[in-house]
Structure 1
Amino acid sequence: MADMAIPQQVACSSKSHPGKCDESSDIRVHFGISEEEKAAVKNRGEHVLKALKNLGLDVKKGPVVSVLVSGGGLRAAIACQGVLSELSHVGLLDTVTYLAGVSGSTWCMSSLYTENDGWKDLGKMENELRRRLQEDSWMVSVSLDGLCVAAERDDYSLTDFWSYSAVYYLTKELLGGHLSHAREQSEMGTVPYPIFASINHDLKSSGKEKNLNAWFEFTPDWAGYSTPGAYVSTALCGSKFEGGKLVQQEPERDFSYLRAVCGSPLADINVILKTIWDFFKKFIHGSSTQEEMLLTDPEGDKYFSEAMTLINQMIEQWGQISRDQQKQLIQDLLAKSLNQDLLKQSSVPSFLKFLWKTTNCLLRWTWGTMHNFLYKYDTEDKLLTEKKNMYLMDAGSTINSAYPLVLPPIRSTDIILSFDFSAGDPFKTIKATEKYCKACNIPFPLVDDAKLDQEAKAPSDLYIFEGENAPVVMHFPLFNKVNCGSKDVIEQRHETYATFRLTNYSDDEVCQLLEDSKANVRNNKDCIFMKISELAKPAS
């Protein structure tokens, strides 16, 4: 691809692979943020200075401000929009260098970075969000068409299914754009530099959740592990590499898939299973056109009848049988009707491939499959290189906010604006981050768990944490006694905006959630500006 803006290569840390730097290969060695990101941050710094001057602060250099937006499903996506709209309205958005999101908040981020002018009028984007949630609808045929295309890939997983089912259903939006296409506006510094966070499931499972190596980030330029410093061009993330060499280029995964990678909440397996099967039933019983194609196809007719009989049996019995019985039904389906040899036949319709691959992924509980760009790369960390595929998952399963990606040794942030949209304990993310930082020897303010536990049911709207050589952390619980007024109203809000709610929000509910999130910015804008002023470098 001669028109690509950056080289087709993997970047790996010199710490993980000392001494190797073959410029003629697909490998280059570096640790820390990329040259592209450095340029973007430098250009963003000029916009920050202009914004501060417009606010009456004439300084030599502004502090690095990172906005963290947490997970929380559609609740988080709507609240994220409210926060960004209000930051823009009060003139503080252009003081922000980084925007880092987890889970549901990445749904909002992806919408904004898809549109070239999305950041120019956040009020317009907010109105579009409201319109879409009320007027647009989830379409079975559109979802099924997308899934049949996805099933042609050899790295299909339940994340593909989640993308075209739950995420599309909740957001009423399928985004075909790509994160790499946001490179131009991010490099110009006209928007905050985006970081989409996920976790490598294998590293998390191996007990490394307290290790920076488990965090996997997507930016417009590179995707990969901030430490040990292993990256692939975002445009090539998902392509096949071996030994650091690009061996087969695949199309870049779009924003809809990225939304599902970052926002596939796997904490409650029973809820997730029920959600998947509810959608699976919709696909099976709403696919008459696909069934006709199969039944009129000589090869399809041969296999389809028995497959559908077993699938209908699975659907009818699924909620009444044990997990072991569920697995046995899936195994029967795979063995009797949908087998690997069948899939190799080019005449087998993609609908049948979709059925086989989805049931197979259900049996193995396979999520976030992507080709491992470090496969067989020569490095000491075999966990990163021994498997052909990596399995990425929602970072909310560890820390429901992307603190590790904006802290040293990766990035040096002066002020963190932490907007927490989590269900339950509004301080869980910051308490988990303090423990994480202690384990990794990263400077972070002290957190009084006991005091926060006392206030968890009825928190205030802002908590400030400061410490020596540590960033200032300004933490904003979404529902609090300031914007809600009482503990009872806070509890009602959590019930109304439950993370796994699959019924549509009314416009009044959307507006209330937007207002609650905006209030947390509006009521504390002076305090935010004061901290920025304190940490800015004077002009003289």
Structure 2
Amino acid sequence: MAPAPAFAPQPEVAESSLLSVRVLRAHGFPSRDLLSPSDCYVCLWLPTATSQELRTRTVRNCSCPVWNQTFRFRIQGLLKNVLELKVFDRDQLSVDDLLFSVLFDVGTLRAGETRLESFTLNPQGPERLDVEFHLRRLPEPPEQLLTNGVLVARELCSLDVCMEKASAATLGSSNGEGVELSVVGSYEGNQKVSVHAGPVSFHCPSYWDPELTIHLQNAAQEPLRVPLRTLPPNQPVKVAFPSAQETPLELKLKAEEVPGELSMRLGFGPCAGEQAFLGQRKQVVAKALKRLLQLEEDLPEDQVPVVAVMANGGGIRAMTALLGQLSGLQQLGLLDCVTYITGASGSTWAMADLYEDPDWSRKDLAGPIAMARARVTRSKLGVLAPERLWQYQRELRERAEQGHPSCFTDLWCLLNEALLHDQPHHRTLSEQRKALSRGQNPLPIYCALNTKDRRLNTFEFGEWVEFTPYEVGFPKYGAFIPPELFGSEFFMGRLMKRLPESRICFLEGIWSNLFAANLEDSLYWTSDPAQFWDRWAQARASLDKEVIPYSRLEEPPTATVAGRIAEVFKGLLTRRPLVGSTPNFLRGLEFHRNYFENPNFSAWKDTILDALPNQLTPSERYLCLLDVGYFVNTSCLPLLPPDRDVDLILSFDYSLDGAFQQLELVGRYCREQSIPFPAITPTPEELLRPQECHIFSDPARPDAPVVLHFPLVSDSFRHYSVPGVRRGPAEETGGELNLAAVGSPYHYTQLTYSEEDADKLLGLARYNICNNQEQILEGLREAVERRRRRRRPRPAPE
């Protein structure tokens, strides 16, 4: 079982209020129709109060429409209630034109206040929408909410429906297909119930005053409706509906409150399992440091530094080189000093294989390296053999029967596994806890990026997701679930539908998912990344001032013909045709009214949507996960939160087109996010001829980690087979590696290496670690001393 959650969410009491919104009139909207004035209507969307979008009537052929319609919403003051108002021009022949939209923060209203707002796109322009708001407290029992200061889980109710009696005419056919039921805003949506089948259940937020709608087969008859608030709690009730048939429709209904306990952790910082591991790992690290640094005394627990290996992506090249580097650390006795190993894309393949053995770092890595070498040098044509294709089809069908949504990513996962292994590996991420049970190995952290499946590129919306044997989750939101539940379905923090834990190959395919990219992401790979980062930095500069004002107006892209063409073109650039479909475990959760000011959230805000809670990830049904390389090809981000308190990072970079490019992007990201990190400023000489190891530190920032950067370069390796041993004439070719960006046998598109190329890459990776033993030891000494300085008590003032 998963370890108990740490930092449990705090219960808070929220009082209800009634928000009245009277849409009055609009002025000066130009017509989008050629022959007549606009046919305007207004849509209202307040997702914290209802799942339905409300709308006014349509006023035809009028440039100054008057609606004078009032809409009421029951809201909770503890939430970030942002009302969206959109004005449309109805079109009979095409999609209705959006004239403009406005966001209004209801939190700016005081109880008892009435406010008239005139929203304009331009103070000098003619367009104006007049709306009157009124807020009144409701004398209702307070609602119990659970929150971590960013996300909020609200009370849920459930409804069980069982059909007791029904006529064939009611069911629509003699074989009894059932009657369609729906509860708007529920997790289940629409379901069918029949006499012979069992009951069906609905789960819905209690505060929405949900109602059961019964859609009868007779189209002439209005749907039947039962408000759930009219049902006695926790008591079954039989309800009979009048019918012209001899057998009336009779249903048994039971409404009850869902227990408040969550199936996920809402909290920031390491979970209980990771904290327990850290306590055990510090003992291992302290013992190794005493031996390596020849310390006279044992290190106290608070003086044991946290050392991390940061492995970047790069396909089979990254997988192979990481194994060589880890074997170098093991050869020098340094592997026991490492607390974390983070991986992205191809480096996660090596990590996942190693952690199948609970004691891998205590054993000679020659065995895993030999198996990896055999895999990368064998032919890959067999992955498309007929028997393999039947195997893929059979497993995908079984996953669909279990309830997993079908998507192309699952096929890529199986193909990727076939490329890396001879047979399927029936291992899971949660089983890797065995490799951490005694603190015997570093803790692995696997990285992915969550994006939007359309309308935005990865630089406009990208959120870091981390996978460990203990948890999977979003550090940004402070929301985590055990890996056993990843892929299962959640609603409002509760587990709705549990599915079997996926084999780890289905996670490896996510961590290296190149197929969820859109055209704009692909441009990043074929051009200078700096231009994309310039755009991201500009968006961040404006985001700092983007705390939701009481109103925010947006001019629609469809206002002009050029705008429409640009919108279509952007849709083509940003649509992800092969996106995965992982159920979103944040679904239904809402935002605390002060979420944007919460330091745990604002320190990690990454996107242009962070100030727009209605458009963030909890509103999505599925996650869109892909390789982090489409933003920055690094696994560094999980090491930067202050709770992990990392002192020394061994940065393993496998790029062929720039020894410092990805690390420089990490440094720029941290600078824009105000995250402590040393400045990455290689000298012109280092850029021209990078060395095997580069040290970056910031003595003025003791909270910033020291970084030892190991780019994939062949410097002295061409002359030395092992440190201090020169190559003989017969060995000279063993040190010659083609690491050029073009034409290299190690390019990420190369799926098969020759035995000679595989041996060279493994030898180079091991050599570059062993040849820099003193630099690593010096980094460890500095990390220990920095810990001592940080823990040393300050002298009392005289």
Both structures adopt the same fold (TM-score exceeding 0.5): yes
**SS of the residue 2:709 aligns to:** strand
Kept in 1: contact 2:2–2:470 (CA 8 A): no
Tell me what 1:448 maps to: 681
* 2:588 is the alignment partner of 1:376: yes
Kept in 2: contact 1:9–1:26 (CA 8 A): no
Q: What is the CA distance between 1:127 and its match in structure 2? A: 1.6
Tell me what 2:499 maps to: 250
Q: What is the CA distance between 1:522 and its match in structure 2? A: 0.4
Kept in 2: contact 1:8–1:236 (CA 8 A): no
Write the distance in 2 (CA, Å) between the matches of 1:146 and 1:19.
Answer: 39
Kept in 2: contact 1:462–1:476 (CA 8 A): yes
**SS of the residue 2:430 aligns to:** helix
Q: Which of these residues, 703, 711, 715, is aligned with residue 481 of structure 1? A: 715
Q: What is the CA distance between 1:128 and its match in structure 2? A: 1.9
Deviations 1:481-508 (A, max 9, x none): 3334699854389711011113x21222
Write the distance in 2 (CA, Å) between the matches of 1:19 and 1:162.
Answer: 35
> What amino acid is aligned across from residue 581 of structure 2 in structure 1?
T
Q: How does 1:28-427 map to 2 (within 5 A)?
A: 28-55=265-292, 56-57=294-295, 58=297, 59-60=299-300, 61-119=303-361, 120-134=363-377, 138-139=382-383, 140=385, 141-151=387-397, 152-153=399-400, 154-170=404-420, 172=422, 174-202=424-452, 206=456, 209=459, 214-266=463-515, 365-379=577-591, 381-382=613-614, 383-409=616-642, 411-427=644-660
Write the distance in 1 (CA, Å) between the matches of 2:460 and 2:328.
Answer: 34
Write the distance in 1 (CA, Å) between the matches of 2:6 and 2:696.
Answer: 40
> What amino acid is aligned across from residue 177 of structure 1 in structure 2?
R
Q: What is the CA distance between 1:25 and its match in structure 2? A: 3.3
Say if 1:259 and 1:475 are closer, same or farther in 2 by CA, change over 3 A. same
**Which stretch of the first structure deviates more once superposed, 255-264 or 201-210?**
201-210
Q: What is the CA distance between 1:40 and its match in structure 2? A: 0.8
Aligned-pair RMSD on alpha carbons? 3.3
Tell me what 1:495 maps to: 744
**SS of the residue 2:669 aligns to:** helix
> What amino acid is aligned across from residue 313 of structure 2 in structure 1?
G
**Which stretch of the first structure deviates more once superposed, 159-168 or 136-145?**
136-145
Say if 1:177 and 1:247 are closer, same or farther in 2 by CA, change over 3 A. same
**SS of the residue 2:762 aligns to:** helix
Kept in 2: contact 1:74–1:171 (CA 8 A): no
**SS of the residue 1:198 aligns to:** strand
* 2:676 is the alignment partner of 1:437: no
Point out where structure 1 has 5 or more consecutive residues left out of the alignment.
Answer: 274-362
Kept in 1: contact 2:712–2:765 (CA 8 A): yes
Say if 1:395 and 1:484 are closer, same or farther in 2 by CA, change over 3 A. farther
Task: Choose between structure 1 and 2 for higher RCO, CA contacts under 8 A separated by at least 6 residues.
Answer: 1
**SS of the residue 2:150 aligns to:** coil
**Which stretch of the first structure deviates more once superposed, 404-413 or 134-143?**
134-143
Q: What is the CA distance between 1:242 and its match in structure 2? A: 1.1
Higher helix residue share: 1
Write the distance in 1 (CA, Å) between the matches of 2:714 and 2:366.
Answer: 24
Q: What is the CA distance between 1:5 and its match in structure 2? A: 3.7
Q: TM-score by structure 1 length?
A: 0.74
Q: Which of these residues, 477, 496, 521, is aligned with residue 769 of structure 2? A: 521
Say if 1:148 and 1:531 are closer, same or farther in 2 by CA, change over 3 A. same
**SS of the residue 1:202 aligns to:** coil
Deviations 1:89-116 (A, max 9, x none): 1100000000000000000000011223
Write the distance in 2 (CA, Å) between the matches of 1:8 and 1:30.
Answer: 9
Write the distance in 2 (CA, Å) between the matches of 1:27 and 1:123.
Answer: 40
Kept in 2: contact 1:103–1:265 (CA 8 A): no
Write the distance in 1 (CA, Å) between the matches of 2:662 and 2:774.
Answer: 25
How many aligned residue pairs are there? 444
Tell me what 1:465 maps to: 696
* 2:763 is the alignment partner of 1:530: no
Write the distance in 2 (CA, Å) between the matches of 1:424 and 1:492.
Answer: 5
Write the distance in 1 (CA, Å) between the matches of 2:681 and 2:317.
Answer: 27
Kept in 2: contact 1:27–1:244 (CA 8 A): yes
Q: What is the CA distance between 1:520 and its match in structure 2? A: 1.4
**SS of the residue 1:491 aligns to:** coil
**Which stretch of the first structure deviates more once superposed, 476-485 or 422-431?**
476-485
> What amino acid is aligned across from residue 17 of structure 1 in structure 2?
L
Tell me what 2:3 maps to: 6
**Which stretch of the first structure deviates more once superposed, 408-417 or 375-384?**
375-384
**Which stretch of the first structure deviates more once superposed, 131-140 or 249-258?**
131-140
Give me the identity figure in percent: 30
Q: What is the CA distance between 1:123 and its match in structure 2? A: 1.8
Say if 1:205 and 1:147 are closer, same or farther in 2 by CA, change over 3 A. farther
Deviations 1:131-165 (A, max 9, x none): 33446864432354134322443423222121222
Q: What is the CA distance between 1:364 and its match in structure 2? A: 5.8
Kept in 2: contact 1:8–1:26 (CA 8 A): no
Kept in 1: contact 2:358–2:436 (CA 8 A): no
> What amino acid is aligned across from residue 263 of structure 2 in structure 1?
D
Write the distance in 2 (CA, Å) between the matches of 1:208 and 1:265.
Answer: 13
> What amino acid is aligned across from residue 130 of structure 1 in structure 2?
R
> What amino acid is aligned across from residue 34 of structure 1 in structure 2?
C
> What amino acid is aligned across from residue 506 of structure 2 in structure 1?
Y
> What amino acid is aligned across from residue 106 of structure 1 in structure 2?
T
Write the distance in 2 (CA, Å) between the matches of 1:204 and 1:529.
Answer: 48
Tell me what 2:596 maps to: none
Tell me what 1:325 maps to: none
Rg larger in 1 or in 2? 2
Write the distance in 1 (CA, Å) between the matches of 2:454 and 2:645.
Answer: 24
Deviations 1:197-231 (A, max 9, x none): 000022997578588x7000100010010122111
Q: What is the CA distance between 1:535 and its match in structure 2? A: 1.9
Higher strand residue share: 2
Q: What is the CA distance between 1:406 and its match in structure 2? A: 0.2
Write the distance in 2 (CA, Å) between the matches of 1:205 and 1:473.
Answer: 37
Say if 1:517 and 1:11 are closer, same or farther in 2 by CA, change over 3 A. farther
Write the distance in 2 (CA, Å) between the matches of 1:252 and 1:26.
Answer: 15
Say if 1:169 and 1:93 are closer, same or farther in 2 by CA, change over 3 A. same
Tell me what 2:230 maps to: none
Say if 1:108 and 1:162 are closer, same or farther in 2 by CA, change over 3 A. same
Q: TM-score by structure 2 length?
A: 0.51
Say if 1:10 and 1:386 are closer, same or farther in 2 by CA, change over 3 A. farther
Tell me what 2:93 maps to: none
Say if 1:175 and 1:10 are closer, same or farther in 2 by CA, change over 3 A. farther
Kept in 1: contact 2:454–2:576 (CA 8 A): no
**SS of the residue 2:276 aligns to:** helix
**SS of the residue 2:355 aligns to:** helix
Q: What is the CA distance between 1:379 and its match in structure 2? A: 2.8
